[in-house]
Amino acid sequence: MGRDEGPADAARHAVTAQAGATAATVSGWRFGSRVERVRASHSFGLVLVLIVASFVFAAVAPDGAWASGLLLLAETFTFAAALWTTGVARQDSKLSLALIVLAAAAALALVIVGGDALTGAVGLLSGLLTVATIAAIVLGVSDQTEVNAQSVTGAICVYLLFGMLFLFLYSVAATLGSGPFFAQGTDGTRSIRLYFSYVTLATLGYGDYTPAGGIGRTLAIVEAIFGQLYLITVVAVLVSRMHVRRRD
């Protein structure tokens, strides 16, 4: 037989519920249910614009500490926008604002101090932010129960972000490596490494630039394999969801 809930039990349940609500929302980041995230989500259009802007800047900006710092800031803003878009973060999230401040401090330190070690660290941080952005977008896409503009735009964002991710990885390898990154006897500029990343991702195989060392070759293989598998799996998932929607 059950017993009636007394005042102490009711108070304990209230404290537990309040703790759960606090855990679900930490400084503006929501960790609630899929329904809650979908209700708070927005279009991935802003994220796509930020990704394209970062791509264009990486392609045209000269090599230099200030450009690497701005790319770090761009990736941070993209991550914050992705969290807001997927409904994970509020617009006034304190954690998102703290990330932006930390990224600005790192970018400023890179400009003032410089050095290969700090340049490599900023590149790795940019790569980690890109991975976090991909994870946030994948969460938002998986929350969608059908093929729509949100899921398609999110899938495009993820594909473009992987090209940016390997740009940062190639740049770190070129900065910290002991020899030229490319077999052509050069580390290449950021623009060249961006070109090489997307050529590899799309498996075009022009061959005008090839990695010289084992790390570069391994990264290129991983990127090429992912480029093929991503298109196959994502297209398969989208098509399967389209069939389900038509049957309904």
CATH number at residue 145: 1.10.287.70
Cα(135)–Cα(129) distance, integer angstroms: 10
Cα separation values, 201 from 80, 159, 166, Å: 25, 9, 9
Higher pLDDT, 147 or 159: 159
pTM of the model: 0.82
Q: What is the span of the domain harbouring residue 157?
A: 24-247
Q: What pLDDT digit, counting tens, does each position of 49-60 carry? A: 999 999 999 999
Q: Is residue 11 a part of any domain in this protein?
A: no
* 133/43 Cα distance (integer angstroms): 15
- Could you give the angle at which helices 116-143 and 65-85 cross, rounded to 10 degrees? 20
Cβ atoms within 10 Å, residue 28:
17
Q: How many domains does the chain have?
A: 1
Whether 14 is covered by a domain: the verdict is no
Q: Residue 82 corresponds to which tokens in the numbers above?
A: 């992705």
CB 43 within 8 A of CB 150: yes
Sign of CA dihedral 25, 27, 28, 31: negative
Asked if residue 224 is part of any domain, the answer here is yes
Per-residue pLDDT reduced to its tens digit, 63-89? 999 999 999 999 999 999 998 888 777
Query: 18 in a domain, yes or no?
Result: no
179 belongs to a structural domain: yes
Q: Is residue 219 part of a domain?
A: yes
Confidence (pLDDT) at 217: 95
- Domain membership of residue 171 (yes or no) is yes
**1 falls within a domain:** no
Closest CA to 70 of 48, 90, 50: 50
Chain segment 84-110, per-residue pLDDT in tens: 888 777 777 788 888 899 999 999 999
